[in-house]
Structures are given as C-alpha cells and as structure tokens.
Structure 1
Amino acid sequence: MGGSHRSDHELNIETARLPRRILLGFLAVMAAVSLVATFWLWPSADDQPQHQEYAADGVTFLSGEVVSVAEPCPVISADVNAAPAEREEFPEHCNEVVVRPESGSAKGQEVTVLATPEASRAGVEPGDTVRIAEIPPATADTEAVFAWVGIERNLPLGLLAIGFVIVVAVVARIRGILALVGLGFAALVVGKFMLPALLAGENGTGVALAGSSLIMFVVLYLTHGASIRTSTALAGTLVGIAITAVLGYWVVDAARLSGISDEDGERLSTFVSDISFQGLLMSAVIIAGLGVLNDVTITQSSAIWELRAAGPELTRRQLFTSGMRIGRDHIASTIYTIVFAYAGTGLMVLMLLSLYERSLLDTLTDAAMAEEVARTLVTAIGLVLAVPVTTAIAAATVAGPATPSATTPASSDATSTLPESQ
C-alpha cells in the first residue's frame, strides 16, 4: 500500500495512509449523518402523547413495615376436568398482609391490605418494607382505604448496583469507569431522544439507526480511546448495525410481525395510537444487538493490531486469515450468549408453550415466540457478518508487511519504521 504511515497510540502499530483516510472519511460522514438525523427526528414537546395518570387524584403512596403475613392463597388448578369438590378451597384471609404505615392518616397504626399472589409467594416477612396506596374516603362518613402496591426493593437493588460499580472499577480500572460513563450516555440518548421520538410516532428504523450510531461513536471512543484501532472497530460496528437493520426490515414484513404480541404492547396501543409497532419492533431488533456487536468488533480490531505487533512480516491476507480464526471462536461463544440470554428472559413463556400439545415448529412460529426468534436470528446474522467486515477493515488499515531488513534482530521491534511503500 503506497503512502506514509502513522502509529497507533497504544501498540505503536503503523497504519497505511490511504486506507486510514478512507476510514476516517467514512466515519466523519457517518457522524455527520447521525447528528443530522438525530436533529431531524428530535421530537418537540407538542409531539409527545399525553401523560397517563398512574393513580387517581388524591391517592398517596406510603412506605410501611410488615407486621404479619397470612398464608398465600393456593394456585388455582388449570385442570378443567377436576371436580369442584377436588379443588383446594381458599383459606380465610389468605394473601392478607398487616402493615404499619410510616406516614399518612394511619401513621403508626396497623392496616390490612390484600397482597397480590406473586407478592405472597415471593416470601414477604414481618419487618420487610412495602409500598401501599392510601385512597381517600369517598364521603365524610367513610374511612380511607389502603391497597397493596408492591415490595420496596431499593436497598437490595441499590447495594447490587453499588457492588457492580465497585467490581468494574477495581477490575477494569479506568476503562471500566469510562465504560460506565458511556453506559450513562447511552441511557441519556435512549431516555431523552429515542423513547420520546418513538412515542411521537417518528420512523422507528430511523430513530434506532440515528440513536445507535450516536451511542456507538461516543461509547467506543470514550471507553477505548481515540485511535485508528478503535475507529476500525467503530466502522465494523456501523456496518453490522446496517446489516441488522436491513435484515430486520425484511423479516418484519415477510413474517408479518405486528410488534404487538403481549399485554404490554396491547396496553401501549391503547395509550398511543400513532405508534408504528412494526417500527418499534425494528428499533428493538437494532438496539438488542448493540452490546454483542460492539464486543466482537473491538475484539477483532484488537486481534489484528496484536497480530501485526507480533508478526510485522505477515501479509494482509495472513493477518485476515489469522484474525478470522480468532473471530470464529468468538462467534461461536457469542451466539451461545445471545440465544441463552433470550431463552432466559423468555423462560416462562417457553415453559407455558411446552405444556400445549404442539410441534416445536408451531411453537416457535407462534406470535408469542416469533418476534423473539426473529430478533435473535437477525442479531446473530448481523453479529456474524460484522466479524469478517471488521477483520478486513483492520487488515487493510494496518501497514503492509515489513521488508526482510526491517525484521532483522536489530530492528524487529513492533515500533520500527516501515517502508513508505509496500
């Protein structure tokens, strides 16, 4: 490759001038497109749907300490053939929880609320802190009514989050801390741009592409540093996102996926009628693959840089071949990660569907599972194709093989100056 070379900051690996310029030019164009698209799709306050009241006027939410817990109500059997006499009767006062509110009109007193079956089976014990709702009396002659809201989990989840931050900071050090900052930026983009834009009825694919690209630009450079190696991984990530979007667009249309396959989708459709739920599914497909996509591209880019440092005499073809051997192993393990992650989140749905006398094919193509299957396969294909793309970009970007004189013991260090043309 003709032209001069420049060193990567971390490994002092020389890079070819022309591929480097093409790479940086491509990223500059993509950055500009992402910013323009984000500005164009940014929703105004007038476009936002009306907020829904979580509770009726006058209802207040209180924390309280559990005083006593009644036994859980038995689970109703789904066996319709069972005789009524054979079915287990509900014990009196089952699922009732006595709570002492910390505020409100009944502060310090004991009130009885009916907990949900899930809460009772979760193991609520005396001394736990729970949330209840105080509903004001309808007339002057009646009293306030108290209802169950949920278990207060701030402390255990807060401790877990603090532990996560500490572990990341201790093990990964500055890189881990920067990754957490990048995660915060990603949450900001999702919360302040992507969700409002989707609720405003903007094109789901456009919102996901703009937001995902913006996140990847900031996260990759912030976490891994501004270098040609990181730029190579970023380019591979953007190509992977584009592949995922194209495949997602095709499968949503070809498989006639509505984007509404559960109660949450039905509930959202009653609140916001302008949303394209197929576009929303497209956004979910693109966002779902960001984490693993970023993982494989940065690994492949780093692998090529390490191979060049260890073997200055390797040709670009040899670099690509060696990098792909690493990539194939990574692909295999990452695919397991994707499939098992989706299987874990949908475990109860899988168990429920397995109870019915249906073939595996019918189960997987059912509306309840088809979206998850499509999301998994599209993400996996985008991930797999991003590996050779990133490897090829990295192999083309690093400098060509050193001449025999450059690899003699006197000048075999990875930081040696390579010839101007290969």
Structure 2
Amino acid sequence: MSSPRHGPRHRGSGTGPPAATGDPEDDTGPIGITPRPAGRHRDPGPDPAPGDGAAGARHADDDHRDAVPHDHPTETPALTGHGHGHGPAPRADRRVHVAIALLLIPAALATLVGLVLLFPYERAQPLDGAAALPRVPGTVSATAESDCSPGEGDRGCAALTVRLTGGDAAGTSIVTLVSVVRGVAPFTTGDEVLLTVDGDPADPESYQIADFQREVPLLVLALLFGAAVVALGRFRGLAALGSLVLTGVVLVGFVLPAILAGRDPLLVAVVGCTAIMFCALYLTHGFSSRTSTAVLGTFGSLVLIGVLGVGFAAAARLTGADEDTASLANALGTAVDGRGLVLAGLMIGALGALDDVTVTQSSAVWELRAADPTLRPGALFSSAMRIGRDHVASAVNTLVLAYAGAALPLLLLFSVAERGLADTLTSQVIATEIVRTLVGSIGLVAAVPLTTALAVAVSTRGRIGR
C-alpha cells in the first residue's frame, strides 16, 4: 500500500512531503504544514495512469482537500499555510515592524537633537557666598550641657568635643555648640559627623557640625538592593541596574544642569524623560516588538500627562513659588520658572510608574497570545485589560501614597494649625501635589488601554515570541 501524498505529485519531483520551513525561533511550529487530524487518513489508492489526466486531477484535488482539513476554517495564513512546497509563508509582521520604526525613529532622533540643543555646555555658577562650604569628617568624643551664650544659664545647648578625622587639621579636637531640642541633644558620643569649615582650618571657631556621616549604611543598602535584583532577575536584573545607572546619568548630567542653566524646565523634562524611556526600556527588556510597544504606550501617556499638566497648572494658578524655589533663585541670582519646575517634577515622577504599567501590559498580551494562539484580537484585548485593571488600581494607589508620603510633614503642620479641609487642599503646596497625583494617575489609566491595544495590534499580526 502506498503512503499518502501531501499534494499533487509532479513528475520528476519525488514523492516525499515538502520540508517544514518555519522559523526555528517561532514557537508556533512550522509554517506551511497543517497536521492531518485523527480519523481523516485514508488510502489514496493506486497512482493514476500516465494518460488518465482527469483521474489524476480528481485524485490530486482530493489529496489537497485532505491536506487542509475543513474543521480549521478560521486559521489565518500567518499561522498556517497550504503544503504545496512553495516555500515558507510570508512574514506577516514586516509591515508592523516598519510602522513601529516610522513612529519610534523620528522620536529618537528628536530626543537626540533636544539633548544636543538643550545641553548646558557652560554650567551655571552660584553667586558669591552661595557655594557650599567645604566639609570634613569627625567623631564626637564627648558631650556636655552648656549655655548657648556665656552667662545665660539656660543650658539650652550641648557642647560637643569632636575629633577631626580628615581635612587639614586631622587628628585635632575642637569644641562646638549644638542646640538641644526638648532636652535631647541630636548628637551623642561616638557619632560620626560632618563639619563645615568657614574660615581658617586651624581656628576651632571655624567648624560647625552639619550632618551625620551616612556613606557606609547607604552603601550597604545599595549592595543589598543590587544583590536582590540580580538574584531574582539574573541577567535581566543586571540590565535593570544598568538602566538605573543611565537614568541617574541623564538626571544628574543633563536635566539638573540644563534647568540650572536657564533652559525651559518643561522642555528639559520632556527630552530627559524620553531619553530615559528609550535607554531604560530597551536596555532592560531588549530590542523587540514587545518592548517597542511598551515604548509607544509610555510615550503616548507622557504626551497626555504633559498636556494635562500644562492645562491644569495654569487653570489652578500653580506658580511653584515656594521656599525651595526662592532659595534656588537667590543662589543663582536669576529668576526661576516655578511652574515649569512643577511640571518637570510631574513628568519625571510619573515616568517610573508608566514604565511599570506599559511593560506589564505588553508582556501580558504576548504571554496570553503565546498561551492560546487562537485567541481573536477582541478576546485577547479583553483578557489583557482584566489584568490591566487590577494593575492600574494598585499603581494609582502607589502614586497617591508616594506623593502623600513626601508631603507628610506639611500635612501634619496643616493638621496642627486646624485649618479647614477646603483651605488645606486648595493651598499652593497641597494643590500642587493634588495636580501631580491626579494628572499622573490619569496618564497611568490611559496607558493601560493604549498599550494593550498597540500590543494586540502588533502581536496578532506578527509571530508569537517575536
């Protein structure tokens, strides 16, 4: 009995089935071969006679109908194909990749141009007297009660004997006074402190305690954080740490100096956030359609946040004129765009949460598609949105708590002052935090359907896992 044929036999071409030509990296299986379901196999019978053209045509047609069963009418050519030996099915995701490139490449080029044009080639210099005083390390060796001024008798200060461990006068000891808060001195024997030097280092009166030394605990904490990230994420964790370093470089090397140099804070924040977005997402998650979808979703949400921020900051008359802005203006000796600083902080603060949401949604769509390649786009979108709703609810709460935690001392101050709720919420500082929270949250909410729709459009026109 002859073996079943997978299509019409052509003379001189052999009798074996065509070789599978699918992409070895594609986890959907070979393209162009549709397996024959159980129970449909039948003996094709003897080969037709060479001169029996009609019989041969009928026989080939029967074989063709068996090679592509009728119980799979909804499969698309992107996933299955006819086994005629015409080579692999064409890549259906080429146009999708081109469309993504047409959107992202101009954005990347615009970001690069913005970095070049806004970069502060000449750093802003503070006014005379505004520069930070030099600091030297020391260790508190003794403490004693003392009057803040000789002869007062209030015993409202503590006299600290500090042994200098660095600087020009290292090895010597000096005595300096610090205020006592409700009978408790902020420093005790054995504390490692930093002292400012205002004058001659050889003069003990030139030293004043400024702060604690915190390098060691912060370094240990950073090492623990890095170890935890690498232990869980392995190579992906290393990439995440690398993106974190790049984020710090962009903020410290571009955003802060550019704003100090007088560049528009909002424009600097837009360029800086876009640069961070490209670097962080592609370095952490690699160059793929999945990552590009997250980048597009993040970029679209950032645009929405910027537009809403500008509109509502103007409508709420948020000037950003607080003590910090005034101190910065005094140090620079020039005017500072307070509202621009508010908007810049809004965009930078929302970017981290946006990255989280968009990457999660993009990955969810790809994983759902890989788990069930037969899902139609509508069903895939609905399934991913159920994940997104749970995620965005937690993300919004996280954003609110982050801003509330940053403003906690101020909230406590308003509570002590017994100001009314309306007065508290509409004050300049609290209203600024409210606008930041709500605008950022709207951006997060919008990022979920936007990224999900993009991911569904890309994944259902491409191949799973690519």
TM (norm. structure 2) is: 0.74
Unaligned runs of 5+ in 1: 1-5, 74-88, 403-413, 418-422
CA distance in 1, matches of 2:381, 2:115: 35
Q: Residue 211 of structure 2 aligns to a residue in which SS?
A: strand
Corresponding residue number in structure 2 for 1:200: 261
TM (norm. structure 1) is: 0.81
Given that 1:60 and 1:134 are in contact with CA atoms closer than 8 Å, whether structure 2 keeps it comes out as yes
Alpha-carbon shift at residue 110 of structure 1 (Å)? 3.5
Is 1:67 aligned with 2:141?
A: yes
Corresponding residue number in structure 2 for 1:326: 387
Given that 1:316 and 1:400 are in contact with CA atoms closer than 8 Å, whether structure 2 keeps it comes out as no
Alpha-carbon shift at residue 103 of structure 1 (Å)? 4.5
CA distance in 1, matches of 2:94, 2:23: 11
Is 1:115 aligned with 2:178?
A: yes
Task: Provide, for residues 136-190 of structure 1, a one-character-per-residue CA deviation record: whole Å limited to 9, x for no partner.
Answer: 469x9x8643211211111111111111111111122111111111111111111
| Equivalent AA in structure 1 for residue 138 of structure 2 | G
- Please point out which of 386, 398, 403 is paired with 2:447: 386
C-alpha spacing 1:62/1:198, structure 2 compared with 1 (3 Å): closer
CA distance in 1, matches of 2:368, 2:378: 12
> How do residues 96-107 of structure 1 correspond to structure 2 at under 5 angstroms?
96-103=159-166, 107=170
CA distance in 2, matches of 1:160, 1:72: 37
| Equivalent AA in structure 1 for residue 177 of structure 2 | L
Unaligned runs of 5+ in 2: 1-21, 30-77, 79-91
Alpha-carbon shift at residue 20 of structure 1 (Å)? 3.2
CA distance in 1, matches of 2:173, 2:302: 56
C-alpha spacing 1:72/1:23, structure 2 compared with 1 (3 Å): farther
Corresponding residue number in structure 2 for 1:128: 191
Alpha-carbon shift at residue 60 of structure 1 (Å)? 5.2
Is 1:30 aligned with 2:90?
A: no
> How do residues 146-161 of structure 1 correspond to structure 2 at under 5 angstroms?
146-161=207-222
**Higher relative CO (CA 8 A, sep ≥ 6), structure 1 or 2?**
1
C-alpha spacing 1:382/1:104, structure 2 compared with 1 (3 Å): closer
CA distance in 1, matches of 2:324, 2:290: 42
> How do residues 137-148 of structure 1 correspond to structure 2 at under 5 angstroms?
144-148=205-209
C-alpha spacing 1:102/1:8, structure 2 compared with 1 (3 Å): farther
CA distance in 2, matches of 1:96, 1:188: 41
Alpha-carbon shift at residue 70 of structure 1 (Å)? 4.1
Deviates more, 1:59-68 or 1:152-161: 59-68
CA distance in 1, matches of 2:340, 2:136: 39
Task: Give the share of equivalent positions with the same residue, in percent.
Answer: 39
Higher helix share: 1
Task: Provide, for residues 329-372 of structure 1, a one-character-per-residue CA deviation record: whole Å limited to 9, x for no partner.
Answer: 00111011111111112111111111223222221110121111
| Equivalent AA in structure 2 for residue 388 of structure 1 | P
Corresponding residue number in structure 2 for 1:410: none
Is 1:398 aligned with 2:398?
A: no
Is 1:313 aligned with 2:374?
A: yes
Corresponding residue number in structure 2 for 1:282: 343
- Please point out which of 114, 123, 126 is paired with 1:51: 126
C-alpha spacing 1:135/1:190, structure 2 compared with 1 (3 Å): closer
Corresponding residue number in structure 2 for 1:300: 361
C-alpha spacing 1:137/1:21, structure 2 compared with 1 (3 Å): closer
CA-based RMSD: 3.3
Aligned residue pair count = 380
Q: Which has the larger radius of gyration?
A: 2
- Please point out which of 36, 42, 54 is paired with 2:119: 42
